[in-house]
Each structure stands twice: as structure tokens, then as C-alpha cells.
Amino acid sequence: MTKVILNMSVRFVVLILIQVLIFNHINFMGYINPYIYILFIILFPANNNRTLFVFLGFLLGLCVDIFSDSGGVHAAACVTIAYIRPVFLKFSFGTVYDYQSIKFNQIDFGSKLTYFSALIFIHHFIMFSLEIFNISKILLILQKTLFSGIFTILLCLIITILFSQKRK
Amino acid sequence: MQQIINFVLRNKTFLVFLLLFGLSLFFTIQSHSYHKSKFINSSNMVTGGVYQVANGIGQYFNLADENKALLEENRMLKTIVYNLDLDTTRLELENFKLNPSYKFRTAQVYKNSYSQTTNYLTINKGKKDSIKVDFGVVTSKGIVGIVENTSQNFSSVLSILNTRSRINAQLKKTNHIGSLVWNTESAEFAQLIDISKFAPLNIGDTIITGGQSTIFPKGVLIGTVNSFKIDNGGDSYVVNVKLFNDMTNIGHVYVIENLQAAEIKSLQKPKND
């Protein structure tokens, strides 16, 4: 248990630092940035303490917000995906999975992709809507959501593959 | 009572979610109003410190370009000074200290963003170096933004590439004034709006800051006219301004303090307040 807490704390800090120091400055094609820090929310162990999890999501978003001067847009998006994550766990992995015992490095690629994409697109959509805050620019919001989302999904998949511990 | 407690306990995750979501919405809306984003900004000790360390590593890669920019600026200033027909032996900084209107300080940019719709910079001078809110920030090439929050050692600067930024600007050759805003489309262009349709605009004309604000001195370079059209109302031009500054690559900046700002403001304030 202590090991899990320590592991999660390290992941929390490292993901925020990598996000604000490297991935916020990629600006591919002028405006496409990946937001890989939400890997923390995506890969958080699925246990019963959802209140704590929602709070951690908020804290994660707020930290990124403070670094990037963006008000509360990351916090709002993170809190939302942290809250609705169980729905997508069930949706992607089916009810056969008792979602207390999912091991994220043992699931097949298809359901992993569905799960990642759903959460990432919802996060990006909320974030860009709040950042642009203008309903007449809905096309810009959708465009940013789509391109940044694809970039984030690719990077998240690569990172999870690189760092998965397969002991045989 | 028992039922209320039970209800709260049963739905505690949902209630926490609502509370935190509401809080983040509050922060978001607050950051959209000028001069109110006091809590969430990158000019605090922790974020400033992290950016300082990162900048300490990164700045060596730009040293050559920075030197070139400084040399170019020195060349320009020397050309002006020696062609002005002044007594250059008396041209010491001390002689300007009697009655200056503007004070310049240097600062280094620790963080710069340009891909969002609300962009900010973080610089390495703060309250300790007497940087205050509403000081102007420029480089040798042109305008950068306005200081919005300060802490002991750092300040965050509202970039001109921000939908909330609105800067008084004018044509260099005539005195037609307008406001410089940004439509979020490109980091190379800003837009000059509310400029009278009687203004004699040409492509390539220079746009400078106007003397009407107490933030920037009159005549700080902004950019050149790239294209222009009459706006929907039909009374004024919307001008696409190509910025002199490469806003994606800013290393050292100057922070401008208008020493007469308080006097001007007190004069402009209505008397029956």
C-alpha cells in the first residue's frame, strides 16, 4: 500500500513537471500541444475511494493551471473526467471486469484505445471550451480538441507501452 | 436530520465533484476579467522557481541569438546618438536623472506561451525590484505586454497575444488612434481596430503605441500594416498588423515605469468622486 502511494506521488509530480516544462512548449503546427499529464487520472488504480480520486484530479489540474496561467480550465476538465471515469471503465472493459482489479498493463489494445480516446477527448473538449469561452468559435474548439486529442492519445499509448512492466 | 446526513454521505463524491467543478469554473471566469486573476498565476514562488531552474539550463542555447540582438540594438542606438549632433561627451546616464518621465529596467523571460487564446509570460523581476502592476514590457524590436501580477521575485505579464489585451495604438505618420487586439489566429499578427475610416492607410505603414495610455511611452514600435478592410459597421478599419517582435522567441525584455502615471491618473479622475 505504501509502495502504491509513493509510486502515485512520484508520478503526480513527474507528470506535472514534464507537462509544463516540455509538452506545453511543443506547439506543433503552431498550436497543437499534447496534454499527457492526464495519464495520472487514466492510470490511477481503480479502487473504491472515488472522493479522494476526484479531489486528486482537481489538484492535478490546478497545478498545471498555476504553471500555465490558464485560470481553472485544466482543473475543471480533470475533475470531470475523474468523476465520470467509472462509466468509461465499464464501457470499455465490459461488466465482466470487476473494475476493482483491472491491471492496465494486461488489457488488450482495442479496449485500451477506446478507454484512452474517450477520456482524452472529453478532457480536451471541456478544456478548450472553457479556455476559448466563446460559443461562436465552436469550430476552433472542435479543431483544437481533435488535433491535440490525437497527439495526446498517440503519446499516452507510446508512454504506457514504454513504461509497462512485463515480468515473465 | 438523519436523512439529510445520510443523503450527504451517500452522494459525497457527487457533491465533492460539484464543489470542485464550481471552484474551477470560478477560477476560470475570474481569469477572464482584467485585473482580477490574483490566485492562479505563475508569478508565485514555486512555479517561478521551477521555471528559473529550467531557464538556467535552456538559456545557453539562445546565447548566440541574444548577443546578435543586443549588438543590433546597440548599433541602432549608436547610429542615432552620433547623428543627433549632440555633445556626446556630456551624454551620461546621470544627466537624465534630473527629471525623467520613464524608467527602464531589464528582465529575463522565464516562460512564454503563444498557442493558447490567453497567453502570459513570466519574468524574473518582482516586487523586490519595484515592479508593479500595469508597467509596460517591451523588447528592442517592439511591444510585448503589460505586467498583471507580481510576487516577491517574479511577475506575470499579459501578452499582447491575449484576447483580453487592449492597447492604445496609432499610425506613425498621422495621429489616428485605435486599439490593438488579438483574434487568436496567428502569433505573427495582431489587429488594430476602431481606427477611423478617414485615416490614410497604406500597406507597409508603421504602427506605434499612442501617447494616450499611461503604460507605454508614445512611439514604441508595434508592427506594419499587412492588410486592412472596413469593419461591419462601416465606420472604421480593421487592420491586420504584422508584429515586429517574434513573439515566439523572447529572451530579454525591458520593463517600463511611467514615473508620471500617478499624476496623470489623478488629473483624469473626475473631481466629484
Which of B21, B16, B40, B20 is CA-nearest to residue B30? Answer: B40
Q: CA–CA separation, B130 vs B177, rounded Å?
A: 31
Q: Are residues B81 and B155 in the same domain?
A: yes
Q: Are residues B139 and B183 in the same domain?
A: no
Q: Considering only the beta carbons, identify the residue of A31, A79, A140 that sits closest to B17.
A: A79
Are both B49 and B153 inside the same structural domain? yes
With an 8 Å Cβ cutoff, is A4 touching chain B? no
> Do both B151 and B52 map to the same domain?
yes
Question: What's the CATH code of the domain at B57?
Answer: 2.40.10.340
- Given a cut of 80, whether residue A164 has pLDDT beyond it is no
Cβ-Cβ contacts under 8 Å, B27 against chain A = 62, 65, 71-72, 75
- Chain segment B148-167, per-residue pLDDT in tens: 888 888 998 999 998 888 89
CA-to-CA separations, A27 to A72, A89, A147, B113, B167, in angstroms, rounded:
21, 31, 12, 9, 26
* Residue B15 covered by a domain: no
pLDDT at B51: 87
Residue B273 has pLDDT above 60, yes or no: no
B135 and B254, same domain (yes or no): yes
Q: Mean pLDDT lowest for which of A100-104, A125-129, A132-136? A: A100-104
Give the nearest partner residue to B28 out of A66, A72, A82, using CB atoms: A72
Label each residue of B192-261 as H, E or C.
EEEEECCCCCCCCCEEEECCCCCCCCCCCEEEEEEEEEECCCCCEEEEEEEECCCCCCCCEEEEEEECCH
Interacting residues of A74 by C-beta distance below 8 A, sequence separation 6+: A35, A60, A61, A62, A64, A65, A68, A127
pLDDT for position B22: 93
Q: What's the helix, strand, coil split of chain A in %, to 5?
A: 75, 0, 25
- pLDDT: is B273 or A137 the higher one? A137
pLDDT, position A95: 63
Contacts of B117 in chain A (CB under 8 A): 131-132
Angle subtended at Cα A106 by Cα A102 and Cα A108, rounded to the nearest 5 degrees: 100
Mean pLDDT of B73-98: 73
Which chain B residue shows the shortest CA-CA distance from A17? B50
Copy the grid coordinates of residue B100: 525623467
Q: Which of A62, A68, A131 sits opposite B117 (nearest CB)?
A: A131
Mean pLDDT of B1-28: 89
Do B55 and B143 share a domain, yes or no?
yes
Mean pLDDT confidence for A154-168: 79
pLDDT tens digit sequence for B39-81: 667 777 888 888 888 888 877 888 888 888 889 888 988 888 8
Task: Say which DSSP state A138 is in.
Answer: H
Give the mean model confidence (pLDDT) for residues A124-137. Answer: 89
The answer to whether B79 faces chain A, any CB pair under 8 Å, is: no
- Whether residue B206 sits in one domain with residue B140: no
A-facing residues of B in 39-78 (CB < 8 A) are: 40-42, 44, 46-47, 50, 54
Query: Residue B4 falls within a domain, yes or no?
Result: no
CB-CB: which of A31, A80, A82 is closest to B115?
A: A31
Residue A36 has pLDDT above 50, yes or no: yes
Query: What is the pLDDT confidence band of residue A168, given thresholds at 50, 70 and 90?
Result: very low
Report d(CA B166, CA A70) in Å as an integer.
18
Q: Is residue B121 part of a domain?
A: yes
Partner A contacted by B27 (CB < 8 A): yes
Query: Is there a domain that residue B187 lies in?
Result: yes
> Does residue B19 belong to any structural domain of this protein?
no
B191 and B153: one domain?
Answer: no
Gap from B85 CA to chain A (nearest CA, Å): 46
Q: What CATH number is attached to the domain comprising B177? A: 2.40.10.350
Same domain, B136 and B173: no
Residues B142 and B254 in one domain: yes
Q: Are B98 and B136 within one domain? A: yes
List all residues 6 or more positions away from A79 whose beta carbon is below 8 Å from its beta carbon. A54, A57, A58, A61, B17, B20, B21, B24
Q: What integer is the mean pLDDT of B220-236?
A: 88
Q: Which residues pair with B193 in a beta bridge?
A: B179
Indicate whether B34 belongs to any domain: no
Residue A166 has pLDDT above 70, yes or no: no
Distance CA A84, CA B261 (A): 51
**What is the secondary structure of B39-78 as a DSSP string?**
SS-TTSHHHHHHHHHHHHHHGGGGHHHHHHHHHHHHHHHH
CB atoms closer than 10 angstroms to residue B264: 12
The predicted structure's pLDDT at residue B269: 78
Cβ <8 Å between A69 and B13: no
Q: Which of B29, B39, B40, B44 to mutate to test the interface with A (most CBs of A within 10 A)?
A: B40
Q: In chain B, what residues touch A25 (CB-CB under 8 Å)? A: 113
Give the number of other Cβ atoms within 10 Å of residue B113's Cβ.
24
Q: How far apart are CA B54 and CA B92, in angstroms?
A: 37
Q: Which domain holds residue B136?
A: 45-159+250-258
pLDDT band, very low/low/confident/very high, at A80 (cuts 50, 70, 90): very high
Of residues B267 and B43, which shows the higher confidence score? B267
The minimal CB distance from B24 to the residues A33, A61, A68 is found for: A61
Q: What is the pLDDT of residue A127?
A: 92
The per-residue pLDDT for B91 is 63
Distance from A127 to chain B by nearest Cα, in Å?
10
Task: Work out the pLDDT band at B146, boundaries 50, 70, 90.
Answer: very high
Q: Is the pLDDT of residue B108 over 80?
A: yes
Asked if residue A116 has pLDDT above 80, the reply is: yes
**CB-based contact B166:B177 (threshold 8 Å):** no
How many domains does chain B fold into?
Answer: 2
B96 and B134 within one domain: yes
Interacting residues of B23 by C-beta distance below 8 A, sequence separation 6+ = A58, A72, A75
